[in-house]
Amino acid sequence: MPRPEFFEDVKIQFKQAACHTSHRSGLLDQIEACNAVYRIRFPVELDNGSILVVEAYRAEHSHHRMPTKGGIRYSLDVDEDEVMALAALMTFKCALVGIPFGGAKGGVRVAPSQHSVRELERITRRYAFELMKKNFLGPATDVPAPDYGTGEREMGWIFDTYKALRPDDLNAAACVTAKPIALGGIPGRTEATGLGVYFGIRELFDDALMLERLGCSPGIAGKRFVIQGLGNVGLHAARAIAAGGGILVGLAEIEGALAHPDGLDLERVLQHRRDTGRILDFPGAHNLTTAAALELECDVLVPAALQHQIRADNAAQIRAKVVAEAANGPVTSAADAILKSRNIVILPDVFLNAGGVTVSYFEWLKNIEHVSFERLITRWEQTVGERFANALEKLTGNALPVDERRTLVLGPSERDIVRTALENTMIIAYRAIRELQTARGLEDLRTAAWLLAIERVAEVYERSGVFP
């Protein structure tokens, strides 16, 4: 099959929601448009002395709020259409969860597995330098984060490059997020997107009206899950789901998939992958293809890999009650229509994938403020906790258990604060989507989520006087 155009799919989703607004077409055209795309080609010397010409991109979809924000993807499939689509999704994710950023995305057309660490460092630093030349990198202009093929190591290189070239920028650490903790990162960022997926799914299974539609009992415990992709997002989502009592009946990776009707022990599967280099041939489980894993019978299918995994050619075979879009754009617009016609509930990526940018926002704030969240409150909370524990012991006449007293006295760590704020953000966003869906009589969660995001972006433009 020909590859669907990703950005065209995103625009279809936009239009399906925008038709429910009363905004003028010119305003909607501006909200839909990708404002800026920078295409770069630069040479990098490889370890063997040869020269590789690297093709790379950075797209800034919307400047209604600044800075723009979005990940950097390393893949041979990177192209202009992909980064524009991902940048657009970032705009609406940020608006939906109340993060004051415009959307952006970057991509470098390289396969990380084909390069040494030294080569990847040279590629990353040169990419950062090229972005800076055109003002596509900076704490107040455009703030990257990791995506497929990148991680905190690459973000550390970008920060170091920026700091070397802008030594007078007091806020240099805020030029990029998901950095190593030692460079100004924030605890909880690594697992944030996957944890956000868990919180979003949990809200769905606490929604009485949605449970009635699904014919399910409340809560994640006992629900059967299939997770496609055990990268950063899928892995942490799977861990949270398993900890919440969910049953992992299927796990899929690029090399193939595993299935077991009674559930798979995630940590044992991960150990098997460390020992053998792949998840296949796990004792007691059935091997199957990644495509077949998507069609396993389950309560929740979580595509957490790349875009366009569920298409018109396989949507009719999906046997899940809920498709939870942990990846960006895993369901094409054609497949979306098929799933809806079969009464399958879709938790849209524009909501469910927003955990990462939410915690990136917390990291950016921490870097701008130059102080950790816990440092501002820890001593005060410890004093209050100590007094409360003493009063409680005096009142009851009994000493508190050591663990309980420690919890009362020490208060939350920065990781606890971040996790709680992420959880609260996802809960508020889900309930706002459902409230709008009910108030406007909308058919599905995707349309409601997009409509809410569009209305929030439109309000910024209208109040700014750009569209009086």
Domains of the chain: 36-183 (3.40.50.10860)
Count of CB atoms within 10 A of residue 316's CB? Answer: 12
Which pLDDT tens digit goes with each residue over 296-342?
999 999 999 888 999 999 999 999 999 999 999 999 999 999 999 99
Question: Helix, strand or coil for residue 113?
Answer: helix
Residues serving a catalytic function are 105
Edge-first strand listing for the sheet containing 51-60: 36-45, 51-60, 102-108, 68-74, 142-146
Angle at 156 between CA 39 and CA 371, to 5 degrees: 120
What's the pLDDT at 380?
Answer: 64
Question: Helix, strand or coil for residue 207?
Answer: coil
Which pLDDT tens digit goes with each residue over 159-172?
999 999 999 999 99
Which pLDDT tens digit goes with each residue over 29-43?
999 999 999 999 999
Predicted confidence band at 2 (pLDDT cuts at 50, 70, 90)?
A: very low
Which pLDDT tens digit goes with each residue over 433-456?
999 999 999 999 999 999 999 999
What's the pLDDT at 1?
Answer: 39
What's the pLDDT at 378?
Answer: 62
The mean per-residue pLDDT over the stretch 224-243 comes to 95
In the numeric block, the tokens 């995103």 are attached to: 10
What's the pLDDT at 382?
Answer: 73
Q: Is the pLDDT of residue 53 over 90?
A: yes
Beta strand pairing call for 102-108 and 68-74: parallel
Q: Which two tokens stand for residue 235?
A: 């892995």
In the numeric block, the tokens 């960006």 are attached to: 328
DSSP H or E stretch at residue 140: none
Q: Which two tokens stand for residue 89?
A: 């999704």
Q: What DSSP line would sit under 330-359, residue for residue? A: -B-HHHHHHHHHTT-EEE-HHHHTTHHHHH
The mean per-residue pLDDT over the stretch 97-112 comes to 97
Contact 47, 119 (CB under 8 A): yes
Q: Is the pLDDT of residue 376 over 60?
A: no
Percent of the chain with pLDDT over 70: 97
The mean per-residue pLDDT over the stretch 374-384 comes to 66
What's the pLDDT at 377?
Answer: 59
Q: d(Cα 12, Cα 304) in Å, to the nearest integer?
A: 22
Question: Helix, strand or coil for residue 60?
Answer: strand
H-state helical runs in 55-191: 80-96, 117-133, 152-165
Specify the range with the lowest mean pLDDT, choosing from 33-47, 188-202, 275-289, 411-425.
411-425
Single-letter amino acid code for the residue at 375: R
